[in-house]
């Protein structure tokens, strides 16, 4: 007879352990156990059969892998937690004896310092592993950087998160690693590519955050403690990889004045010389004159070149120039057939997009979000970003009338001058030397500077996502902005694409069907109105007839009530088939003719005003047009395709036929959704073309 196995020593019961048993085994408190699991990256597990794992298991029981708990037995942080627990007992005894000085001394001298450096090295053996796990870290740290300081969130933690996030943004600006950004209801999404790894994180808007009491900030604080250590290591590696000294110099006074990115000074290979060259370059009228002088010098050099002696030299130069132009352009793959696959189009190189805003000087109005705009503009090559002094320190210029400004970002529509308040009088400090007080210069929204482009903030995001400069007139102040679409959602075949023209997405004959539906709806509305008018006139005529009959009633006439059924039957037999409808036939015909004449006249007036033939508007004649023939051909083609599919489906086995039915069902559902969206867009475009307001 074999040995009987003891229950709970093999199988799933051995592989899993409950949380209470794990806490007893590690001999630490539950909060310390949670903290240790977050640091080590150990999470609860769900066994397949809870009854086999534990006899008294309930749905609320939490299980862990037994090997994970054994791995925690050798963690050096366990000793730190135990030392902290022993120190808490000593401090409690000292406070119980009234020895407050001894308690504070014990807390200062014996408090254990916890470092997570060894855990970072264990969890991320290579730097690429750390970059892959950076999404959640950046989202959490940017969130805490925008939180107000409370008892649960100390100011030191907020300041540390702000410093690490700004250092990471400085690296993205210098290395031009930022790729895309998107404005959503949750916040602003950013995507950067660092050493081939795509990193996506979320930054909340600069609103006042309302911290509620149903959030466990102890758990979130533990994550923040780990993520700050991780981002510190990542920032150090990133800065040293491009030759920049880490940590950068931090100006506390500038940060107090709202400098943020401007409070840091980078030092390293080529960083200081580039910044000094930018600061020394005069970007005023003199700078513009220097540019024109340089352009004139280049033109003089070209004019001084010897002219080609023969026609062959001219043709050779022309061919070379054309070849250069062709090689610089980006090839595009066009679809040759309707059912062909859509090939991914080549994107512009990172060097082109990194200098997208380099030749411009931007000025941010007071109502625009300064922090994300400054970061985006600088990350894509702009070196000169100015704003009003009330937005903070670190601006290139605070003078809105600076002639070097090429683009001004505003976020309010132009208002009539009568609704604007009067300009304030010049103060004593603004009075010039001659003593005459001059009024301040009237700028936006009272006036615009000639040669300056005024745009809304969405222009920056759309240019970044598309990798090119878009038309600024579509983003002018007060204009209806184009849809801001997510750059990560790629339209698939058969789905609705809001960025593509409507004619490219419609199936064959769909536009004509929509026109027929509109005409049917209009005819139905007109028929309904005519029916309501006729009913109203008919009721009026009926009342008039009844009044006339009441006047003519004589004595003895009226409604006689029969005592028996036979009497009523005899009365019915006397006048067979005569029923009074309330309106005589002559009156009804007169009303119908009058109403028809009136509607005909109204339709003729509408057709004359709209420039449409009367026959097409009335719907009396339906001449065969090319659109109708195209609709018939499309319907016939679809019918033949459906019949062919049905014949082919009959030859399939039942199992594959059911699978094909499920595929067709999901495809048909997607097609209906796309068709509904196209119909809405077609209606909106038609309303805009007609000058109507769509609600």
Checking 475-480 for CB contacts under 8 A at 24+ apart, the result is: 477/410, 477/412, 477/413, 477/414, 477/445, 478/413, 478/414
For the entire predicted model, the pTM comes to: 0.69
Residue 347 is encoded by which pair of tokens? 């994107």
What integer pLDDT is reported at residue 377 of this predicted model? 95
Query: Is residue 64 helix, strand or coil?
Result: strand
Distance CA 164, CA 168 (A): 6
Q: How confident is the model at residue 307 (pLDDT cuts 50, 70, 90)?
A: very low
Is the pLDDT assigned to residue 273 strictly greater than 90?
no
Express the helix, strand and coil content of the chain in percent, nearest 5 each: 55, 5, 40
Report pLDDT for 335: 55
Mean of pLDDT over the chain:
76
pLDDT of the residue at 333:
54
Element spanning 45, H or E: none
Residue 255 lies in a domain: yes
The closest alpha carbon to 119, from 225, 236, 235, 239, belongs to: 225
- The better pLDDT of the pair 688, 233 is held by 233
Please tell me the predicted confidence (pLDDT) of residue 42.
92
| pLDDT value at residue 180 | 94
Q: Is residue 614 in a domain?
A: no
Q: Which two tokens stand for residue 180?
A: 């895309």
Q: Are strands 362-364 and 264-265 parallel, antiparallel or unpaired?
A: unpaired
Same domain, 127 and 266: yes
- Residue 194, φ and ψ in degrees, nearest 5: -120, 115
Q: Give percent of the chain above pLDDT 70.
A: 67
If asked whether residues 183 and 73 sit together in one domain, one would say: no
Task: Say if residue 82 is in the same domain as residue 143.
Answer: no
Cα 242 from Cα 239, distance rounded (Å) = 6
Residues spanned by the domain of 243:
117-276
Give the rounded percent of residues in the chain with a pLDDT score beyond 90: 31
**Same domain assignment for residues 166 and 227:** yes
Band (438; pLDDT cuts 50, 70, 90): very low
Q: Give tens-digit pLDDT for 494-529.
A: 777 777 777 777 776 666 666 666 555 555 555 555
Region at 272 (left for phi over 0; alpha for psi -120 to 50; beta for the rest): alpha
Q: Measured between alpha carbons, how far is 333 from 344 in angstroms, rounded to an integer?
A: 8
Position 128 pLDDT exceeds 80: yes
Whole-number Å distance between alpha carbons of 80 and 113: 8
- Of 53, 77, 110, which one is at a domain's C-terminal end? 110
Residue 183: exposed, middle, or buried by beta-carbon count in 10 A (0-12, 13-18, 19+)?
middle
Same domain for 79 and 204, yes or no, is no
Q: Which residue has the higher pLDDT, 246 or 294?
A: 246
pLDDT score recorded for residue 539: 54
Domain containing 396 — which CATH number? 3.40.50.10190
What residues contact 237, with CB distance under 8 A and at least 6 apart?
A: 127
Is it the case that residue 304 has pLDDT exceeding 90? no
Q: Are residues 153 and 253 in the same domain?
A: yes
Query: 69, 91, 110 — which closes off a domain?
Result: 110
Residues 210 and 272 in one domain: yes
Look at the chain and report how many structural domains it folds into.
3
pLDDT over 60 (residue 60):
yes
Q: Are residues 198 and 240 in the same domain?
A: yes
The pLDDT score that the predictor gives to residue 124 is 94
18 lies in some domain = yes
Q: Is the pLDDT of residue 440 over 50?
A: no
Task: Please report, for the chain, how many H helices and E strands are present, in that order.
Answer: 26, 11
Tell me if 598 is assigned to some domain: no
- Residue in 398, 362, 173 with CA at minimum distance from that of residue 274: 173
Q: Is 336 within a domain? A: no
| Cβ atoms < 10 Å from Cβ of 444 | 17
The DSSP secondary-structure symbol of 153 reads: S
Residue 201 has pLDDT above 80, yes or no: yes
Clarify whether residues 132 and 77 are in a common domain. Answer: no
pLDDT tier at 176, thresholds 50, 70, 90:
very high
272 and 388 in a single domain? The answer is no
Note whether 452 and 403 are within 8 A (CB). no
Q: Confirm whether 72 is domain-assigned.
A: yes
Q: What are phi and psi of 169, to 5 degrees?
A: -65, -35
Q: For residue 227, what are its two tokens? A: 């993520």
In-domain check, residue 466: yes
pLDDT at 127 over 80: yes
Same domain for 141 and 167, yes or no, is: yes
Better-predicted residue by pLDDT, 61 or 87 = 87
Locate 629 and state its tokens: 């023939």
Whether 103 and 136 map to the same domain: the answer is no
Tokens 């309302």 appear where?
210
- DSSP string of 499-564, one letter each residue: TS-HHHHPPTTHHHHHHHHHHHHHHHHHHHHHHHHHHHHHHHHHHHHHHHHHHH--TT-SPPPPSS
Choose one of 81, 110, 139: the last residue of a domain.
Answer: 110
* pLDDT at residue 649 in the model: 82
**330 domain residue, yes or no:** no
**With 80 as the cut, is the pLDDT of residue 310 above it?**
no
Q: How does residue 409 score in pLDDT terms, banded at 50, 70 and 90?
A: very high
Burial tier of 61 (Cβ tally within 10 Å: 0-12, 13-18, 19+): middle
* Highest mean pLDDT of the ranges 1-15, 121-135, 614-628, 670-684: 121-135
């Amino acid at each position: 007879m074999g040995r009987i196995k003891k229950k709970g020593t093999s199988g799933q019961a051995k592989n899993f352990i409950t949380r209470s048993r794990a806490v007893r085994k590690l001999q630490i408190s539950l909060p310390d156990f949670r903290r240790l699991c977050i640091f080590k990256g150990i999470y609860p597990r769900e066994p397949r059969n809870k009854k086999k794992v534990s006899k008294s298991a309930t749905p609320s029981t939490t299980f862990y892998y037994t090997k994970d708990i054994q791995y925690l037995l050798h963690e050096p942080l366990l000793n730190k937690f135990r030392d902290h627990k022993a120190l808490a007992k000593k401090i409690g005894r000292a406070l119980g004896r009234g020895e407050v000085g001894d308690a504070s001394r014990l807390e200062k001298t014996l408090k254990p310092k916890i470092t997570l450096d060894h855990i970072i090295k264990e969890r991320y053996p290579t730097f690429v592993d750390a970059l892959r796990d950076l999404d959640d870290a950046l989202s959490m740290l940017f969130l805490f950087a925008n939180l107000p300081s409370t008892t649960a969130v100390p100011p030191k933690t907020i300041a540390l998160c702000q410093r690490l996030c700004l250092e990471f943004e400085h690296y993205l600006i210098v290395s031009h690693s930022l790729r895309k950004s998107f404005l959503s209801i949750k916040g602003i999404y950013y995507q950067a590519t660092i050493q081939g790894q795509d990193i996506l994180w979320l930054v909340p808007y600069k609103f006042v955050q309302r911290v509620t009491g149903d959030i466990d900030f102890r758990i979130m604080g533990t994550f923040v403690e780990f993520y700050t250590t991780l981002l510190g290591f990542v920032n150090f590696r990133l800065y040293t990889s491009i030759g920049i000294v880490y940590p950068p110099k931090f100006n506390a006074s500038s940060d107090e004045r709202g400098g943020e990115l401007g409070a840091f000074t980078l030092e390293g290979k080529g960083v200081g010389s580039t910044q000094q060259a930018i600061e020394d370059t005069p970007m005023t009228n003199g700078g513009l004159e220097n540019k024109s002088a340089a352009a004139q010098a280049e033109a003089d050099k070209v004019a001084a070149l010897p002219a080609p002696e023969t026609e062959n030299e001219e043709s050779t130069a022309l061919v070379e120039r054309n070849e250069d132009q062709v090689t610089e352009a980006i090839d595009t793959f066009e679809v040759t057939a309707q059912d062909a696959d859509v090939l991914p189009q080549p994107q512009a190189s990172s060097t082109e997009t990194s200098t997208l805003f380099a030749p411009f000087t931007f000025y941010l109005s007071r109502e625009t979000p300064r922090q994300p705009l400054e970061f985006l503009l600088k990350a894509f090559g702009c070196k000169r970003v100015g704003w009003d002094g009330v937005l903070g320190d670190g601006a290139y210029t605070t003078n809105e009338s600076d002639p070097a400004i090429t683009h001004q970002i505003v976020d309010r529509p132009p208002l009539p001058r009568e609704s604007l308040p009067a300009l304030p009088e010049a103060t004593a400090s603004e009075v010039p030397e001659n003593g005459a007080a001059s009024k301040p210069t009237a700028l936006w929204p009272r006036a615009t500077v000639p040669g300056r482009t005024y745009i809304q903030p969405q222009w920056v995001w759309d240019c970044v996502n598309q990798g090119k400069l878009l038309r600024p007139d579509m983003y002018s102040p007060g204009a209806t902005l184009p849809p801001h679409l997510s750059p990560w959602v790629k339209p698939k075949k058969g789905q609705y694409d809001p960025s593509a023209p409507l004619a490219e997405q419609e199936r064959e004959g769909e536009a004509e069907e929509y026109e027929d539906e509109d005409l049917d709806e209009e005819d139905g509305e007109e028929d309904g109105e005519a029916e309501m008018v006729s009913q109203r006139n008919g009721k009026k005529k009926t009342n008039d007839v009844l009044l006339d009959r009441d006047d003519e009633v004589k004595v003895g006439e009226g409604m006689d009530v029969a005592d028996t059924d036979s009497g009523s039957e005899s009365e019915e037999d006397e006048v067979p088939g005569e029923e009074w409808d309330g309106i005589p036939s002559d009156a009804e015909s007169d009303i119908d003719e009058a109403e028809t004449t009136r509607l005909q006249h109204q339709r003729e007036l509408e057709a004359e005003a709209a420039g449409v033939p009367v026959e097409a508007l009335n719907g009396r004649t339906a001449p065969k047009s090319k659109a109708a023939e195209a609709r018939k051909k499309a319907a016939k083609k679809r019918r033949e395709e459906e019949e062919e599919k049905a014949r082919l489906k009959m030859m399939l086995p039942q199992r594959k036929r059911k699978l094909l039915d499920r595929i067709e069902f999901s495809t048909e559902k997607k097609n209906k959704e796309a068709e509904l969206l196209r119909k809405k867009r077609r209606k909106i475009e038609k309303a805009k073309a007609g000058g109507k307001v769509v609600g």
